[in-house]
Structure 1
Amino acid sequence: MSFLISLAVLSALIFFHELGHYFAARAMGVRIEVFSIGFGKKIASFNRWGSEWRLALIPLGGYVRMKGQDDSDPTKKSYDNDSYNVKTPLQKIFILLAGPLANFVLAFFLYFVIALGGPNILSAVIGKVVENSPAHAAALETNDTIRSINGVEITTWEEMAKFIELSDGSLKLEVQRGKEIKQIILTPKITQTTNIFNEVIEKKMIGIGSAGVTHKLNLGISETLSYATKQTIFASTLIFSGLKKLLFGEVPANELGGVISIVKLTSDASEAGWMSVLFFAALISVNLGVLNLLPIPALDGGHIMFNLYEFLFRREVNEAIMIKLTIVGWVILFSLMGLGLYNDINRLIG
């Protein structure tokens, strides 16, 4: 059941991406010949609104085939009034941007729904106290709750960690231990740790771990909008940072995941409840939006790059060069997919 939920989530995200292209193209007067969820052999289809709506065998993507545009053969062009080829570079860029934009909008909506439902967030409750750390020296204990730092109220673990990381000098902690309130003074020290990309970094810490206690965030309308905006921006920057680190070798290539990882993580999220599914779906949606903006000819970003060239230099990219770049783009894309699949299989075997 969880596997089917994973496929349904992935297909829905792809559907919204392609729907963005579809509506933008229709708005620009371009005919959509095929709207497909999945690749390969067609297993079901119907014709409506001048397009063939298709479900294909391999549910690992999707596409809209516009009149005059075919990634499998860039030489296939049409110069009819309802063709993609007769549109201006800016109109084409608008159509191309609409897919990734739909993913960002969908992610914002999902984060908004999560915020309305009251997302769970880590409380500032101490679990492990590291020996010979500032926290250990100050006699902090497991299950202590940090209520404030230097007079500033602390409500979440994230707030506490950020305050400590950016601190300068000693800190005065108000700590609740059972029914007792204690005032504790300590000084953070720079310590080696790992970040979300598994890189070794140094930052100010006091030597405590979370107890895993959570509480619900009760947000008003303005706070809900702020939460959705911040989460969408954070997810986008996180993915951009991860791609940059992979590109420059700061993160090993074996950290790259493929479709099996996506299905497995979505499956795990479904077992944790609908809130986890929505949260992970929002993250994948942002991921799809960001990845499709990469300047790889087989992706939206590559086509945007070609149209920017045409807009700036008032001429189309040489057809032979475009074909070669498109082939290179497909090679890069399939190589990345193959590497992700290889890493997924290694993790499963491991």
Structure 2
Amino acid sequence: MSFLVSLLVLSALIFFHELGHYLAARRMGVKVEVFSIGFGAKVASFHKWGNEWRLALIPLGGYVKMKGQDDSDPTKKSYDADSYNVKTPLQKMFILFAGPLANFVLAFILYLFIALGGPNILSPVIGQIVKDSPAFVAGIETNDTIRSINGTAITKWEEMAEIIEHADGVLSFEVERAGYIHFIAVTPKITQTTNMFNEVIEKKMIGIGSAGVTHKLSLGLEETFSYATNQTIHASTLIFTGLKKLLFGEVPANELGGVISIVKLTSDATDAGWMSVLFFAALISVNLGVLNLLPIPALDGGHIMFNLYEFLFRREVNEEIMLKLTIAGWVILIGLMGLGLYNDINRLIG
């Protein structure tokens, strides 16, 4: 069941990405010949609205084939009135950007549903305490609930963590313990730790861990839209940062995951509940949007780059150069997919 949900989630995200291209192309008067979910041999298809709708054997991607556009051979062109090739660079960039944009919009909508359902967030309840840490020395205990810090009310774990990280001197903690209120002074100290990218960093900490207690976040209408917007921006920033670190070698290549990791994580999210599935689907949707904007010729970002060149210099990219760059783009993509798959298999074996 979890595996089936994983495939359905991936297919839905791909469908919305390609739907963005499809609607933009139709809006610009470009004929769409094929709308395919999946690659490889055709499993099922039907014709509607002047194009073929296809389901293919390998459900790990999809494409919209427009008249005059062929990624396998970018030198093949058509100059009919309803062809992609006769459109202006700005019109073509609009069509290309519409796919990633659809993923960002879908992520925003998913985060809206999460916000309306009341997302679970970590409560400021203390779990593990590191021996001889500032919290340990000050007398903070397991199962203490932090009510305020320096007079600022605390309702979420992340609020407490942010105040501690940016602390300047001694902090006054208002702590609830067994129904009684205690005021405890704690001085954070700079400590080495690892971040989500497994990098060793230094930041101010007091040596506490969460007890894992959660509560539902109740949001008003304005707060709901603010939550969805902030989560979409945060996810995008996170993915851009991760890619930058991977490209500059700040994160080892063995951290890269492939489709097996995506399916496994989606399956795990399914076991944790539908709210987790929505959250993970939103994150993967943003991921698809960001990755497709990379300036790799086989991706939307690469085609946007070609059209930006044409817009700025008033001439098309040399066909021979475009073909070589496209082949190089496919080599990079296949290499990254292969590396992700290799890492996935290693993780499974390990």
TM-score, length of structure 2 as denominator length = 1.00
Distance in 1, matches of 2:277 and 2:3, equals 12
Any residues of structure 2 matched to 1:1-350 within 5 Å, and which?
1-350=1-350
The residue type equivalent to 2:43 in the other structure is: I
Give CA-to-partner distance per residue, 1:290-317, whole Å, 9 cap, x none. Answer: 0000000000000000000000000000
Q: How many residues align?
A: 350
The residue type equivalent to 1:50 in the other structure is: G
The residue type equivalent to 2:330 in the other structure is: W
Give CA-to-partner distance per residue, 1:211-235, whole Å, 9 cap, x none. Answer: 0000000000000001000000000
Distance in 2, matches of 1:239 and 1:288, equals 10
TM-score, length of structure 1 as denominator length = 1.00
The residue type equivalent to 1:25 in the other structure is: A
Give CA-to-partner distance per residue, 1:190-224, whole Å, 9 cap, x none. Answer: 00011010111000000100000000000000000
Distance in 1, matches of 2:316 and 2:179, equals 73
Distance in 1, matches of 2:179 and 2:279, equals 35
Distance in 1, matches of 2:17 and 2:166, equals 39
- Offset of residue 76 of structure 1: 1.2
- Offset of residue 152 of structure 1: 0.1
Give the secondary structure class of the aligned counterpart of 2:331: helix
Distance in 1, matches of 2:75 and 2:251, equals 38
Q: Give unpaired runs (5+ residues) of structure 1.
A: none
The residue type equivalent to 2:296 in the other structure is: I
Distance in 1, matches of 2:88 and 2:254, equals 42
Give CA-to-partner distance per residue, 1:307-337, whole Å, 9 cap, x none. Answer: 0000000000000000000000000000000
Distance in 2, matches of 1:167 and 1:18, equals 47
Distance in 2, matches of 1:75 and 1:19, equals 25
Superposition RMSD in Å: 0.4
